[in-house]
Amino acid sequence: MVMVHFLLLLLPVALSQLVGTSSDLQPQLVLSKGFSASPSSRFDPFLSLLTDPLGNFSLGFLRVDRTGLSLVVLHAPSSLPVWTTCQGPGSLSPWSGRTELRFNGSLVLSDSSSGEVYWSAGAIGDRVVLLSNSNLQIQRLAKNGKTVGSFDVVWQSFGFPSDTLVEGQSFSHDMSLTSTGGQYSMRLGTDFIGLYANFGGGEAYGQMYWKHKALEVKAEIMADGGPIFVRVEQDGYLAMYQNGTVPVDVEPFSTFHRSISTFHLLRLEPDGNLKAYYWTGTSWNVDYQAINEFCELPSPCGPYGLCKPGEEGCSCLDNHTDHSSGPCTGPISTDLCTSSSRFSVLRRKCIELPYKELMAYQTALSPEECEHACESNCSCWGTVYNNVSKFCYPLHYPVQTLLSVGDENKLGYFKMVATDPHHKESRRTGFKGAHVLTQVLAGIATAGMITGYRAWSQRKGRGRKWYKDIGSDSLGSMEFELTGTS
């Protein structure tokens, strides 16, 4: 058995203690009407309230950032949250004796004194159970025509995924996966899976940065055949279906057809990558990743960052700023249209867009014409112009990481919103605060997966640099240590 030990600055507990129960609260197999529970005042990192019959998964209160509480379903052996009611900063409930989870027919997380409801499943049933596949269900006693004692499902967590899809869980066109922190999402189109980045700016889901279209080898998508859905299959692949029988697309993982009887999951990572993992019994190993190149992640170096393909290191668009000393910019306004948003202009050659095949462009006869269309438009944050093809790509969201290329004909024009350097430091602290949740949740999840990631990157023959970057990105101010013993 691998013992995983953490030295978390924000969550100073050993992982082996993470799944604990307080003496007065024993996890149950069924929650009946009248159930209620509140977190204790002790420093419990996790309080288990309900477990599945095999003991692999646990519904409970997860302590986040010392004083915050998130209701999660955790994979108990690895402490990996597979479902949560709270996906972004600001949506945490307080870790306090007043916070209460009740089952009064519906499952409600509320403040027992003020009555303020933090979260509610909004369905009426007779009992709550956690299935062995991690699906949390509210069930109602079946009435007439059914076997006595059978139950109907009135609500299930599988219908409301957070950032993870587990094996067997169907993901349909009306659902989305949202990365911890809330910046990235996965959604389905008519015949594709799309990953979107919400960097601010007008569009509903944000900018698409990855698209996987159905290959339709075994079955075709019928125009009148209804929406598609996807599912992680036990045999190690992500299947896309229209009618549920013959897949219209199969995206194989590395364990595909290797008859490894194990549990798979797919997760939208805090950095925007989509990864599949399988459980080895002691750790989660990476099985698949949608984006293989660091620089092709949606914003690996942050706003106004510059990524050089092949080197996996970050610098800044503005070469007066040093990326190693922190983000390339302070907090950026997501609205250029207010009169107070003045900007300066940064031009740089040898700039490329990371996912330009998914971006709209116009043609412009000269760099000046391309810039001019953007200059007076406050929904435009910059342009990338190809002085040979004459394609002009406007950026309709705050400038994110761009690629550094060797081609002098690729011209970048960027609006820089003047940030008072005097305010930069304090503002940045606020920015950090808002991301603490991201770091904690991501850290819990990522640390459990580090071993797996290493295995993956070694198999892929990649250097350790990306591993380090991703670690420092998502683990933030945490330190961790993984030790393997048998």
| Residues in contact with ligand NAG by the rule CB under 6 A | 54, 56, 77, 104-106, 108, 110, 117, 124, 219, 243, 245-246, 263, 279, 281, 319, 348, 367, 377, 379-380, 387, 394, 396, 411
Least spacing, CB of residue 59 vs ligand NAG, in Å = 15
Give 231's contacts (C-beta < 8 A, 6+ positions apart): 165, 168, 169, 170, 171, 238, 239, 241
> Which residue, 414 or 466, is less far from ligand NAG as judged by CB?
414
> Which residue, 147 or 259, is less far from ligand NAG as judged by CB?
259
Least spacing, CB of residue 456 vs ligand NAG, in Å = 18
Cα angle for residues 31, 37, 40 (degrees, 5° grid): 145
Least spacing, CB of residue 388 vs ligand NAG, in Å = 7
> Which residue, 157 or 438, is less far from ligand NAG as judged by CB?
157
52: tokens are 């599945």
User: Does residue 94 contact residue 100 with C-beta atoms inside 8 Å?
Assistant: no
Q: Quick one: how many helices (H) and strands (E) in the chain? A: 6, 36
Least spacing, CB of residue 176 vs ligand NAG, in Å = 23
Least spacing, CB of residue 107 vs ligand NAG, in Å = 9
DSSP secondary structure of 116-180: -EEEE-----SEEEE-TTS-EEEEEE--TTS-TT-EEEEEEGGGS-SSEEETT-EEETT--EE-T
> Which residue, 117 or 434, is less far from ligand NAG as judged by CB?
117
> Which residue, 48 or 439, is less far from ligand NAG as judged by CB?
48
The letter for the amino acid at 212 is H
What count of other Cβ atoms lies within 10 Å of the Cβ of residue 163? 28
Least spacing, CB of residue 96 vs ligand NAG, in Å = 17
> Which residue, 14 or 124, is less far from ligand NAG as judged by CB?
124
> Which residue, 5 or 348, is less far from ligand NAG as judged by CB?
348
User: Does residue 393 contact residue 361 with C-beta atoms inside 8 Å?
Assistant: yes
Residue whose tokens read 């993984």? 482
> Which residue, 108 or 482, is less far from ligand NAG as judged by CB?
108
User: Does residue 316 contact residue 325 with C-beta atoms inside 8 Å?
Assistant: no
C-alpha distance from residue 402 to each of 161, 315, 349, 415, 419 (Å):
31, 10, 12, 14, 20
Least spacing, CB of residue 10 vs ligand NAG, in Å = 26
* 391 sits in which H/E element: strand 391-395
Least spacing, CB of residue 182 vs ligand NAG, in Å = 23
Give 143's contacts (C-beta < 8 A, 6+ positions apart): none
Least spacing, CB of residue 75 vs ligand NAG, in Å = 6
User: Does residue 29 contact residue 51 with C-beta atoms inside 8 Å?
Assistant: yes
**Interatomic CA distance for residues 62 and 83, integer angstroms:** 11
> Which residue, 292 or 362, is less far from ligand NAG as judged by CB?
362
